[in-house]
Structure 1
């Protein structure tokens, strides 16, 4: 009887510390997202000189403003890293604090992006103006949509932590998946900043 109890306890311990397939599955999802963004970058590369006699990126892009956007997103990646450090130490208060800062930085990034889109449309350079701006709005807008999803996901995780401050491995796994997603968006944005913005004005 004691032997069976020991085996049962061992089984529970192993199941608790068994490697999660969630992170591996999420890596697979990120690979599909890589294909999506690679396709959008390829389309932009083909359309990058199709201005239809209209304005170019060099005429309208505000590089200092975009550089500020980039700094905000990169800083949010650092603050999310601090949240993960708190998660591994099982300090829910620390996690919530850094998630809040990360959320504000991500929201500020989106605000600047919306302002940029509004400015371009007001200048007559909307998605229908030329193939260049059509591919630009599609690429940058898709990234912005991903950031929006990440912010919503962040709020959901924060609510779960508030309701259940005793963080388990499941909560840490969820935070890890969002961490992968958030850092992935940083990498994509660095490519956008370098290839789309700087490449268009140089």
Structure 2
């Protein structure tokens, strides 16, 4: 039995339980590699969007279409959720399981609010602006990039929700800790991607 597992058996955990075992460290390293692949994929979608953003096919342009206050509100929610994810990891390092669960729950709720605003945004574009997936090359690139990110947010919400359930049933261990840590890495990644989307798609779209 490793020292980390022995400590867990005695009811105590190392300060950074996600890195206490070789398996945990390997999970973190492997997830960094996974995020590298995701970054390449999103980079390809960004490049495609930039290449097609002026091909509107007589449909609405970005400047005519986007409603920045709504998108700014969604951005604020996602940025705050990144902060609550940090608080969750800090609680984990202190061994405060209840606080960890609560911060994860707040992160999930903020993510859900973000998705609601994004779905509402899409519905406005489709119903009132006649801006659908097949309206133009610009619309196709927009929905592909933003929708793909939204799918990542939805997956992150589901993932963190499952981890909350595991915490309720199994508690915080050297096995569950790496899962929570890499889920926070994932959440920060999709937050960073959104900052780029907000800047490249929305802000540049309004001024370009």
Normalization by structure 2: what TM-score?
A: 0.89
SS at match of 2:175: helix
Q: Is the 8 A contact 1:79 1:101 kept in 2?
A: yes
Aligned to 1:155: 161
SS at match of 1:181: helix
Moved more, 131-140 or 80-89: 80-89
- Cα drift, residue 57 of structure 1: 1.2
- Cα drift, residue 27 of structure 1: 0.6
1:18 equivalenced with 2:21 (yes/no): yes
CA deviations 1:76-118 (Å, max 9, x no partner) are 0001111111111111110111111111100000000000111
> Unaligned stretches of 5+ in structure 1?
1-10
Aligned to 2:170: 164
Separation in 2, partners of 1:153, 1:129: 34
Separation in 2, partners of 1:169, 1:81: 19
Matches within 5 A, 1:58-77: 58-77=63-82
1:30 equivalenced with 2:35 (yes/no): yes
**TM-align CA RMSD:** 1.3
- Cα drift, residue 14 of structure 1: 7.1
1:140 pairs with 135, 143, 146, which one? Answer: 146
Aligned to 2:10: none
1:180 equivalenced with 2:170 (yes/no): no
Q: Paired residues, what number?
A: 191
Matches within 5 A, 1:39-54: 39-54=44-59
Normalization by structure 1: what TM-score?
A: 0.91
Moved more, 85-94 or 147-156: 85-94
> Unaligned stretches of 5+ in structure 2?
7-19
2:130 pairs with 124, 135, 142, which one? Answer: 124
- Cα drift, residue 12 of structure 1: 2.7
Q: Is the 8 A contact 1:79 1:102 kept in 2?
A: yes
Separation in 1, partners of 2:184, 2:61: 35
Moved more, 14-23 or 84-93: 14-23
Aligned to 2:105: 100
- Cα drift, residue 18 of structure 1: 3.4
- Cα drift, residue 172 of structure 1: 1.5
SS at match of 2:59: coil
- Cα drift, residue 168 of structure 1: 1.3
CA deviations 1:1-56 (Å, max 9, x no partner) are xxxxxxxxxx6327774332000000111011001100000000100100001111
